[in-house]
């Protein structure tokens, strides 16, 4: 899965297989002390992906800690996003002078089941999704879910961050690999890219809020 396809060239990405990452740094390990083994495995892979992407973006070999709201705490001058499933962990990082915020999400396609649609889709989205050909629905639901998760991460520090999936609406161009996310409350509209990787069975979505010109 080539995560670089989701972002402009100034964003660096990394993908790590869960279970094949080295242990987290001591400062990072304290964040999951007492957690179950599954959480340790996904956390270690996520932090390894984050450090690799950070180094690729020109950042320091530093621990990636956690902010008060649970989001990754990046070194000064950098922004990024971490995502993981039970199989893969991914990260995207850029200099803060290029990217004010980044949202990255990956999902296992088979785990985004049709019975989850009422938790993901607005009423209007649900009506449109139900009218789609049956063969398209599974992938499109997973892509919409992933796009909304990426948007929530990207807007986590916004003045009015989204309060849930059904507060967001997604316009999906499945064939073109792009999407647009808005909020039922109004506010900024975000453009992103998505991909489907049949080999790994994952979908992914990425959004960048470009830093204001100085």
Read off the pLDDT of residues 39-61 as tens digits, 9 standing for 90 and up. 999 999 999 999 999 999 999 98
Q: Assess if residue 210 is contained within a domain.
A: no
**Distance (Å, whole) CA 14 – CA 20:** 14
Instruction: Work out the burial of residue 164: count CB atoms within 10 Å of its CB; fewer than 13 is exposed, 13-18 middle, 19 or more buried.
Output: exposed
Q: What is the pLDDT of residue 120?
A: 97
CB 80 within 8 A of CB 89: no
Question: What pLDDT digit, counting tens, does each position of 99-125 carry?
Answer: 999 999 999 999 999 999 999 999 999
Q: How many domains, the chain?
A: 2
Q: What is the pTM of this model?
A: 0.94
pLDDT score at 188: 80
Q: Any idea what the Cα angle at residue 61 is, between residues 97 and 195, rounded to 5°? A: 60
Cα dihedral 65/70/73/79 (nearest 10): 140
Q: Which of 211, 177, 175 is nearest to 192 (CA)?
A: 177
Residues with Cβ within 8 Å of 210's Cβ and at least 6 positions away in sequence, in order, are 8, 98, 99, 100
Residue 209 located in a structural domain: no
Instruction: Say if residue 113 is in the same domain as residue 100.
Output: no
The 3 state secondary structure assigned to 132-157 is: CCHHHHHHHHHHHHHHHHHHHHHCCC
The confidence score (pLDDT) of residue 64 equals: 94
Q: Domain range spanning residue 24?
A: 3-104
Query: 131 and 156, same structural domain?
Result: yes
CATH number of the CATH domain containing 69: 3.90.470.20
Sequence-distant (6+) residues with CB within 8 A of 98 are 8, 10, 11, 210, 211
The answer on 156 and 97 residing in a single domain is no
The sign one gets for the Cα dihedral 141, 142, 145, 147 is: negative
Q: What is the distance between the terminal CA atoms of the chain, rounded to a whole angstrom?
A: 34
- 214 pLDDT exceeds 60? no
Shortest CA distance to 103 belongs to which of 38, 179, 39? 179
Domain assignment present for residue 208? The answer is: no
Cα–Cα distance, 7 to 11 (Å, whole number): 6
């Amino acid at each position: 899965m080539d995560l670089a396809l989701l972002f402009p060239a100034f964003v660096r990405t990394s993908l790590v297989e869960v279970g094949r990452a080295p242990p987290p740094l001591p400062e990072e390990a304290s964040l999951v002390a007492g957690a179950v083994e599954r959480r340790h495995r996904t956390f270690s892979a996520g932090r390894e992906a984050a450090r690799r992407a950070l180094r690729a973006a020109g950042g320091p070999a530093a621990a990636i800690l956690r902010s008060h709201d649970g989001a990754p705490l990046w070194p000064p001058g950098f922004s990024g996003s971490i995502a993981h499933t039970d199989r893969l962990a991914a990260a995207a990082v850029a200099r803060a002078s290029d990217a004010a915020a980044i949202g990255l999400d990956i999902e296992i396609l088979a785990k985004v089941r049709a019975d989850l649609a009422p938790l993901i889709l607005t009423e209007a989205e649900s009506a449109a999704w139900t009218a789609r050909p049956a063969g398209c629905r599974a992938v499109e639901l997973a892509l919409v879910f992933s796009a909304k998760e990426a948007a929530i991460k990207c807007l986590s520090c916004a003045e009015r961050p989204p309060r849930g999936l059904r507060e967001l609406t997604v316009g999906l161009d499945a064939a073109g690999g792009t999407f647009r996310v808005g909020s039922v409350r109004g506010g900024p509209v975000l453009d992103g890219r998505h991909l489907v990787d049949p080999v790994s069975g994952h979908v992914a979505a990425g959004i960048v809020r470009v830093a204001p010109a100085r």
